[in-house]
Amino acid sequence: MSAIAARSRAGTLRALTAVGRCQLAGLLGLLVACVGPAVVAALLLLPVGLGHRLLPPAAAALRRCADRARERAARWSGVRGAPPDPLPRTAGARAVLADAGFWRDLGWAWLEPLVGGLLVAVPPSLVVYGAFGVLVQPFVWRLLDDGNWYAFVPVHTTATMVAALLLGLGFTAAGLLLAPSVLRLHARWGRLLLAAPRTAELVRRIEQLTDTRAVALDARADELRRIERDLHDGAQARLVALGMRLDGATRLLDDPHAARAALLEARELSARALEDLRDLVRGIQPPILTDRGLGDAVRSLALDSFLDVHVEVRLAGRLPAAVESAAYFAVNELLANAAKHSGGDRVDIVLAHGDGSGEESGGGRLSVSVTDDGRGGADPARGTGLLGVRARLATFDGSLALHSPPGGPTTVTLEIPCASSLPKTSSS
Amino acid sequence: MRVVLAEDLFLLRDGLVRTLREHGFDVVSAVDNGPSLLRALLEEKPDVAVVDVRLPPTFTDEGLQAALEARRHHRGLPVLVLSQYVDQLYANELLASDDGGVGYLLKDRVTDTGQFVDAVRRVAAGGTVLDPQVIGRLLSRGDARGTISALTPRERDVLELMAQGRSNAAVAAALHFSESAVAKHTASIFAKLGIAPSTEDNRRVLAVLAYLRR
């Protein structure tokens, strides 16, 4: 029972919040109604020259209003539109006029106070008018000789008063129930007017992909160079030495003691070549990651760490191999950081894969959080570790967030969009 | 002594079969994949199994899984696991898989035939054999955490060999000590670390490992 009560309380609170936000959105619409004409005035003053000075600040003010509206839409209703390119700052009125985003802002400023304002006015008006019916109608009709009208009800008897009271309750309830949907509708309406056109969004996306691809290609080239060098200086060199040693041993066969020593040395060389190869393989793709996936691979890191590492894994099935690898090496780096710099002695790691909720997110995402109980105050700009991790995650559209207040604790959260698959059954 | 062997690379399997036969083992079955391994272990119920971790068809930890599964059916079935790399997680899983001999060695160790055959015998006898690399990592972790800082360098050497599963005699031979000196060191190690001493060899090894893995 108490759970139901709590839920209905939460529901009422949400509805009231939505009504309040509708009211606020309406008021802000009035502000837009002031800024919009200022921009129009600046435009009209362009022929006399004064407009050239007035337009850039007016356009910037309008853009601030639009940005706020976009933020509110995202925060209140989860509706995210593509932000426009920033307004040209220094090039003056001419550049502003050439900016597609500016004209979109202006169109929005023209329509928002009328259409948007009217839309968001509905729920608060229903609530207030309903409250008027419930709180005022039961008393006021006695004071007036021939009653009064409440909506379509002429209130002059107890029966009509009760009808007005019920109608008022209905209005209030309708206002409360409608508010979240109206708010969302308003957000979508704003997005319709304000969102950058698809091409602008795509251009930006291509730029970002070109950048991250360049980083990924560089990283891959570095990696291949490192592997080549490690093989050249390590295993290959040792195998050459091994061959020489074996050759020497064949020439020593007359002297069994010397031959035996040479052969033992050859065995030692082969063991070291294997050791080199093992280290190399672990740096490319740790075998446990292939065998068991991210969860157990991170557990294995935890066992090797000097810190007290607690791992919680909420992953069903396997993730794409590239994502597993990126996440593994990121955790490895973060654990090394915690051991080196945090001064703490306990680390908590949580690996989770969510299916992605909310209308805009789409697809799943892997989230990894690494929290230590150290002194905090970590600076992401210092040290190349975090920057490197962030650059590598960018290839996957992943992100890294660092929260490290002085005094700790430090939490690093990684997110990588990706789908999860069923457990792997064949790889040969 | 009857042995079941699982290794997917022909050259290595052949070499291992030969080595084991030369040393008087009876290799009753030599298989190259996970499902056959499980079948062989359940049907033959050998005195000891020598198993490569990575086998077809998945080329992941098929061999380890088959060995663990077989141990659930035949409690205490001795298993020596070989691998191209060692991982603490696998060592933990093997140690946790009820009692009976277990071993976990890097594949390279088979190049030292004497040591390898000795390890197979120790596992068959119900002992615990862990690769020096597994123990090395446990010890460096112990160093960093300060859990074994009370030990003298000599005692640390003894602890290392003991944790690998060696008997007092083998530790004495490796460090050129007398056996009584090893016994004295062992007593001192147990006192310093607060581990209850045990006269039984394998129980002693397990106590040391439990301490290091904390």
DSSP A18-61: HHHHHHHHHHHHHHHHHHHHHHHHHHHTGGGSHHHHHHHHHHHH
Q: Please identify, among B75, B110, B130, the residue that sits at the C-terminal boundary of a domain.
A: B130
- What does the block give as tokens for A101? 């985003």
**Where do the domains of chain A lie?**
2-194, 199-284, 288-417
Q: What is the mean pLDDT of residues A31-60?
A: 87
Nearest to B85 among A278, A296, A303 (CB): A278
Give contacts of B92 with chain A, Cβ < 8 Å. 303
pLDDT of residue A34: 86
Instruction: For residue A317, give the DSSP letter.
Output: S
Q: Which amino acid is at B168?
A: N
Asked if residue A359 has pLDDT above 60, the reply is: no
Mean pLDDT across chain A: 85
Shortest alpha-carbon distance between residue A426 and chain B (Å) = 5
Asked if residue A428 has pLDDT above 50, the reply is: no
Nearest to B89 among A275, A303, A425 (CB): A303
- What does the block give as tokens for A376? 């905090």
Asked if residue A298 has pLDDT above 90, the reply is: yes
Peptide bond into A409 cis (omega under 30): yes
Q: Are residues B106 and B19 in the same domain?
A: yes
Q: Which residue has the tokens 């031959």?
A: A259
Instruction: Name the strand (E) or helix (H) holding B48.
Output: strand B48-52
The confidence band for A426, taking pLDDT boundaries of 50, 70 and 90, is: very low
Q: Indicate which CATH number applies to the domain containing B70.
A: 3.40.50.2300
Nearest to A270 among B60, B84, B111 (CB): B111
Q: Are residues B95 and B176 in the same domain?
A: no
Q: Which residue has the tokens 């003691």?
A: A257
CATH code for residues A288-417: 3.30.565.10
Q: Are residues B96 and B178 in the same domain?
A: no
Put simply, the answer to whether B89 touches A287 (Cβ < 8 Å) is: no
Q: Of B46, B61, B10, B1, which is closest to residue B31 (Cα–Cα)? A: B10
**Closest A-chain CA to B61:** A291
Q: Are residues B27 and B122 in the same domain?
A: yes
Instruction: For residue B3, give the DSSP letter.
Output: E
Instruction: Name the strand (E) or helix (H) holding A143.
Output: helix A137-143
Q: Which 3 state secondary structure label does DSSP give B81?
A: strand
Q: Are residues B150 and B175 in the same domain?
A: yes
- What does the block give as tokens for A80? 């995210």
Q: Are residues B76 and B61 in the same domain?
A: yes
Q: Are residues B167 and B120 in the same domain?
A: no
Contacts across the A-B interface (CB distance below 8 Å): 57
- Give the global pTM: 0.72
**Closest A-chain CA to B53:** A291
Range of the domain at B157: 134-213
Nearest to A306 among B59, B92, B145 (CB): B145
Contacts 24+ apart (CB under 8 A), A114-117: A115/A189, A116/A25, A116/A29, A116/A186, A116/A189, A116/A190, A117/A26, A117/A29, A117/A30, A117/A33
Q: Are residues B113 and B156 in the same domain?
A: no
The total of structural domains in chain B comes to 2
Pairing assessment for the beta strands A153-155 and A308-314 based on DSSP bridges: unpaired
Shortest alpha-carbon distance between residue B87 and chain A (Å) = 7
CB-based contact B131:B104 (threshold 8 Å): yes
pLDDT of residue A1: 54
Phi then psi dihedrals of residue A86, to 5 deg: -60, 150
CB-based contact A418:A319 (threshold 8 Å): yes
Put simply, the answer to whether B88 touches A300 (Cβ < 8 Å) is: yes
Task: Please report, in tens digits, the pLDDT of each residue of chain B (214 residues total).
Answer: 999 999 999 999 999 999 999 999 999 999 999 999 999 999 999 999 999 999 999 888 999 999 999 999 999 899 999 998 999 999 999 988 877 899 999 998 998 899 999 999 999 999 999 999 999 999 998 888 888 888 999 999 999 999 999 888 889 999 998 999 998 999 899 888 888 877 787 888 888 888 888 7
What is the spatial distance between Cα B214 and Cα B212, in angstroms, rounded to a whole number?
6
Alpha-helix runs per DSSP H in B55-102: 62-73, 88-96
Cβ atoms < 10 Å from Cβ of B171: 23
Give the CA diameter of chain A.
Answer: 134
Q: Please identify, among B107, B130, B153, the residue that sits at the C-terminal boundary of a domain.
A: B130
Q: Are residues B89 and B9 in the same domain?
A: yes
Q: Are residues B123 and B139 in the same domain?
A: no
CA quadruple B109, B121, B39, A422: dihedral sign: negative
Q: What is the pLDDT of residues A184-220, one digit of tens each?
A: 888 888 888 888 777 877 888 898 899 888 888 888 8
What is the spatial distance between Cα A126 and Cα A232, in angstroms, rounded to a whole number?
79
Put simply, the answer to whether B108 touches A274 (Cβ < 8 Å) is: yes
What is the spatial distance between Cα B89 and Cα A248, in angstroms, rounded to a whole number?
42
Shortest alpha-carbon distance between residue A2 and chain B (Å) = 44
Instruction: Name the strand (E) or helix (H) holding A349.
Output: strand A346-354
Q: Please identify, among B130, B153, B184, the residue that sits at the C-terminal boundary of a domain.
A: B130
Q: Are residues B125 and B138 in the same domain?
A: no
Choose, out of A291, A310, A426, the residue to mutate when testing the contact with B (most B CBs < 10 Å). A291
B72 — contact with chain A (CB < 8 Å)?
no
Q: Are residues B126 and B145 in the same domain?
A: no
Q: Indicate which CATH number applies to the domain containing B163.
A: 1.10.10.10
- This model of the complex carries an ipTM of 0.91
